[in-house]
Structure 1
Amino acid sequence: MTVASETPVDVTARMLEAADTDIATFFSMFTEDCEFRLGNNEPVRGRQNIQEWVSGFLGGVAGLRHVILEMWSDGDVAAARADVTYSMQNGATFTLPVVTRTRVRHGQACEYLIFMDPGPVIAASTS
């Protein structure tokens, strides 16, 4: 559900909640032309391409839980600092620090950048 009157902080908070509870809703919160980037990976453009990339990245992940530590915004951009706990399909669980930066247009993310070291997720997915 998109609510155009929401602030960028509201949208970002809903996105992190949806990432934990309803991945289809998470993906629906991107504009069709959204730019997405995780860590030092190449940017991914377009909702469908983002969904495919994230699905591949999260292949070994059974669940996520974000705990937002702080959020702020300026204009159409919001940033969130959080701890994200990954529960892996192999039984491993670990928590990583993350910062997301979301640019919002008409209640949806048109740019979504994740600043996190994805190495532990990749390593746990392959072990």
Structure 2
Amino acid sequence: MLDVEYANTNSSTTVCSEGLPRDRFDGRGGFANCLTENCTFVYANSDPVIDRAKTAATSQNFLKQLARIRHHILTVWAFEDVIVSQISVTYTRKDASTLTVPAVTIWKLQEELIDECQIYVDASPLFER
């Protein structure tokens, strides 16, 4: 299907994403450009984060702990203002070891932006070492 990759390179994070609005991912902001100002972001069993800037900071802090993340999108269901994706996520740690786990993302859209982003994944093995 489709691969989406986030790779840390020196001081910045690059985002590669086919099939999504490329202009929103390019330049400063990356994923944050796809979010509403007052979005809600929930990753795994973490507390919800509300606000685009806070979501971007939370995401960037997580990404800085890793060398790379690759999302292999297996199936996507879209209806009304909701997009549900079944994915396989491969995390590459800074020591180059990897972990692949299944995940589901749910995006609730508002005027073509993500207003709610929920990511269901068990990433607990990621930092168990």
Give the TM-score of the pair, scaled to structure 1. 0.77
Residue 7 of structure 2 corresponds to residue 17 of structure 1: no
Residue 62 of structure 2 corresponds to residue 54 of structure 1: no
Distance 1:58 1:115, change over 3 A: same
Query: Secondary structure of 1:17's partner?
Result: strand
From 18, 29, 33, the counterpart of 2:34: 29
From 67, 71, 74, the counterpart of 1:66: 71
Percent sequence identity over aligned pairs: 29
Structure 2, unpaired ranges of 5+: 8-13, 16-24
**C-alpha distance in structure 1 between counterparts of 2:43 and 2:57, whole Å:** 14
Structure 1, unpaired ranges of 5+: 1-12
Residue 65 of structure 2 corresponds to residue 78 of structure 1: no
**C-alpha distance in structure 1 between counterparts of 2:5 and 2:68, whole Å:** 12
Quick check: 1:18–1:25 contact (8 Å CA) kept in 2? Answer: no
Kindly indicate which of the two structures has a greater share of residues assigned to helix: 1
Quick check: 2:76–2:85 contact (8 Å CA) kept in 1? Answer: yes
Residue 7 of structure 1 aligns with which residue?
none
Distance 1:47 1:53, change over 3 A: same
Kindly indicate which of the two structures has a greater share of residues assigned to strand: 2
Aligned residue pair count: 110
Root mean square deviation, CA, Å: 2.1
Structure with more relative contact order (C-alpha pairs < 8 Å, separation 6 or more): 1
Quick check: 1:80–1:99 contact (8 Å CA) kept in 2? Answer: yes
Residue 5 of structure 1 aligns with which residue?
none
**C-alpha distance in structure 1 between counterparts of 2:118 and 2:6, whole Å:** 14
Greater shift in the superposed pair: 17-26 or 114-123:
17-26
Quick check: 1:19–1:26 contact (8 Å CA) kept in 2? Answer: no
Residue 74 of structure 2 corresponds to residue 98 of structure 1: no
